[in-house]
Structure 1
C-alpha cells in the first residue's frame, strides 16, 4: 500500500527536520532518528532509526510504532530492513522500510506530523544530556508555561544477554526517568526491571528529545521521550533509540 502524497511528503519533511543533525564524534554505529508522525488521536507514534552498520558498512532502517497508551509496540512493528550491500545507501534502505511499514501506518491512521517539545541535537552544545526541560508552548513570543524537568539516571542491571559471562564486559546498564513539574514533587515515571536483549550490552543512555502531536498541550495528548541507547559495538559504542511515554506531562 502506498502512502498518500500528503502522508509521504509529511513523513519525509518531518524525517528531515527531526533527524538528529551530525553524527557524534566517536567510532561506532550511531543511528539517526526521525519521527514519522502520530495518529490523529495521539494514540500511536511512528519513528525511524537509520544508519550504516559498523564493520560491514551496510545501510539499515528500522521503523517502530509505539502504542502510547499501552507503552508497547503496535502494528506488527518493528519493521527492520538492512541491505547487504553499500548501495543504494540510506535512501534505498529507507524507501524499503517505509514500504514495509506503509500498510501498518495506514491502518493505524498515522497521518499527523510530530513536533519537538524539546531537543538535544547531536551538534548542539549541551551541558547535561541526561536532563531535558520542556513545558506547555507559549503564545507568540511568550516563554513556555508549566515547565517541567525530565531527568535520566543509570544503574547496573541484568539481562538475558550474558555480557559479563560470555564477553567479559561490565554488567549491562539500565535507566530510570524522573519527571519533576515546576509546581509538584518529582516522581519516577519509568525504571528498567532488567535490560531487554534487544538493547544488547548497554553502557549508557541520554535524553535526545521529547516529541508530541501538533497542539498536544491543548488537546491533552501525551508527549513521548526519545532516549538514546548506547551499547557495545564492533568499532565503538552503537546508538539506537527507544521511546517512553511521559505519563505526567505539564
Structure 2
C-alpha cells in the first residue's frame, strides 16, 4: 500500500471512530436533581438526542410527591432545533428556565440517594422487578424493598389507533416494605394519558430515596415508558411514581 493510500485509510478509520453511532431508538437518560428538605417536592431531568431529527432536548420535571402532580410551571422543556445543536446547550437552557422552581424548593441542597438503577443497557436485569435497600448501611441495618410491575393491554385510541391495535399500561406494586412482605398498589392504570405517546411497554428503571429529619421516607420509582419512535424504532421516556413507605 502506498503512503498516500495508507494515510487516506487511516483518516477514514479515524472519522468512523469519531462519528457517533447510528441511532436505533431514542432512549432518554435521566438525572435526579433533588428533593425539598421535607421530601414533598422532587425534581429530575430527562435528556437526549431525538432519533430522526437529531435535535438535542432536555425536560425538567418538578412534582409534588404527596399528590403525584406537577407543580405549576413544570415540566420545563428545551430543544435545540438547528443543525449541529449540542446537548449541553439544551440542558443549560432547561436548567436556566427551571431555576426559579429549583431554587424555590432548594432541590440542589437535598439530592437524595439513587438507591437502585436498572438501565435498559443492563442486559441481564429484570425489566419488571427491582429489589433494593432504601439507604446504604451495614447488613443488619438495611431496609429492603421490592417492586413488581405488570403490563396491561388497552385498546388503542386517538392517533394511536392508526398506528397499532393495542397500547400498554401498567400496574406497579410494592411487594416488600422494609423487609416485610406486602402488596401495596402504587399505580394501576385505568387509562393511558396522551403524554405517553402510544406506549408499547415499560421497565422499572430505578429508585431515588430520601429520608426526612423525622425519619419518614419518600421513594420515587423511575419507570421507563417505551413508545413508538421514528420509523418503527422505540422511544424511551421517564415517569416518576412517588410513594411514602409506612404512611
TM score, norm. by length of structure 2: 0.82
Structure 1: 5+ residue stretches without partners: 1-24
Q: Distance in 1 between matches of 2:94 and 2:134?
A: 34
Unaligned runs of 5+ in 2: 1-21
Count of residue pairs the alignment pairs up:
222
1:170 is the counterpart of 2:165: yes
- 1: distance between equivalents of 2:156 and 2:141? 40
Tell me the alpha carbon deviations over residues 129-159 of structure 1, each in whole angstroms, 9 at most, x when there is no partner: 21011234353x4366332210111011256
- Cα displacement string for residues 131-190 of structure 1 (whole angstroms, at most 9, x for unaligned residues): 011234353x436633221011101125653312x22x1311000101112423323221
| Cα contact 1:134–1:144 (8 A) shared by 2 | no
Alignment partners' CA distance in 1, 2:31 and 2:168:
25
Tell me the residue number matched to 2:215: 219
Contact in 2 for aligned 1:159/1:196 (Cα 8 Å): no
CA distance in 1, matches of 2:74, 2:47: 15
* 2:205 matched residue in structure 1: 208
Query: Is residue 226–residue 241 contact of structure 1 (8 Å, CA) maintained in 2?
Result: yes
Q: Which residue matches 2:15?
A: none
For 2:194, the equivalent position in structure 1 comes to 197
Query: Aligned equivalents of 2:119 and 2:52: distance in 1?
Result: 25
Structure with the bigger percentage of helix: 2
> Over alpha carbons, which structure has the higher Rg?
2
What CA RMSD, in Å, does the superposition of the two structures yield over aligned residues? 2.3
What is the aligned partner in structure 2 of residue 20 from structure 1? none
Contact 1:223 1:249 in 2 (8 A): no
TM-score if structure 1 supplies the norm length? 0.81
In the alignment, which residue of structure 2 is the partner of 1:148? 145
Instruction: Summarize the Cα distance change of 1:64–1:161 in structure 2 as closer, same or farther, 3 Å threshold.
Output: farther
What is the distance in 2 between the residues matched to 1:33 and 1:62? 9
Q: Which aligned pairs between 1:74-223 and structure 2 lie closer than 5 A?
A: 74-111=71-108, 112-139=110-137, 141-142=138-139, 145-158=142-155, 161-164=158-161, 166-167=162-163, 169-181=164-176, 182-213=179-210, 215=211, 219-223=215-219
Of 24, 31, 35 in structure 1, the residue corresponding to residue 32 of structure 2 is 35
Distance 2:141 2:84 in 1: 44
Deviations 1:184-228 (Å, cap 9, x if unpaired)? 332322101111000111000000000022x45973121100000
